[in-house]
Amino acid sequence: MSQADGSDCATSQAPMWERGWYRFARKLNSPNFGQRPAGAKIDLIVLHAISLPPGQYGGDEVQRLFTNRLDWRAHPYFTTIEGAMVSAHFYIRRSGELWQFVSCDDRAWHAGVSEYRGRENCNDDSIGVEFEGVDDASFEAGQY
């Protein structure tokens, strides 16, 4: 069926997901990831809170941490995490802006040495979501 301007009404839209990447997220590739083990089944979502420095919001320090570009000398707190090679699949800013660093087909490095219900290595079968924030304060409505 055609519209009055001659364009096709039934246009195909781009897929929401492509090779584990969510099309509506801002993409920034992290080098901190690995392949999931053969047969891994994603059945766990791990939620985290992060802000760098702790309790300070709005900067690009989290993105820099997840891409190994954080200046460890820029703030005294950063020396306590110096050398950390971490990532998450997703990062949700306080504004609701969504970032993706690792394909959901791959294993992000967010859970560290972990165990859940008798299963070790939670990175193997989980999606890691970081919320810009701290554990003892509320998140913003836009993050939900």
pTM of the model: 0.88
**CB distance 52 to 78 below 8 Å:** yes
pLDDT value of residue 12: 61
Annotate 10-40 with b (16+ C-beta within 10 A) or e (fewer): eeeeeeeeeeebbeebeebebebbeebeeee
- The yes-or-no verdict on residue 44 having pLDDT over 80 is yes
Report residue 50 as tokens: 């992060």
pLDDT value of residue 13: 82
Q: Give me the domains of the chain, ranges plus CATH numbers.
A: 20-28+42-134 (3.40.80.10)
Catalytic residues, by residue number, are: 130
pLDDT value of residue 5: 44
pLDDT value of residue 139: 97
pLDDT value of residue 4: 45
Q: Name the β-bridge partners of 132.
A: 50
What is the mean pLDDT of the segment spanning 17-24? 97
* Beta carbons within 8 Å of 94's beta carbon, 6+ residues apart: 57, 58, 132, 133, 139, 140, 142, 143
Distance between CA atoms of 36 and 121, rounded to whole angstroms?
Answer: 11
Model confidence at 84, pLDDT cuts 50, 70, 90, reads: very high
Least confident of 22-26, 44-48, 116-120, 137-141: 116-120
What is the mean pLDDT of the segment spanning 33-38? 97
* Beta carbons within 8 Å of 100's beta carbon, 6+ residues apart: 21, 22, 25, 26, 27, 28, 89, 90, 91
Name which residue leads in pLDDT, 2 or 64.
64
pLDDT value of residue 87: 98
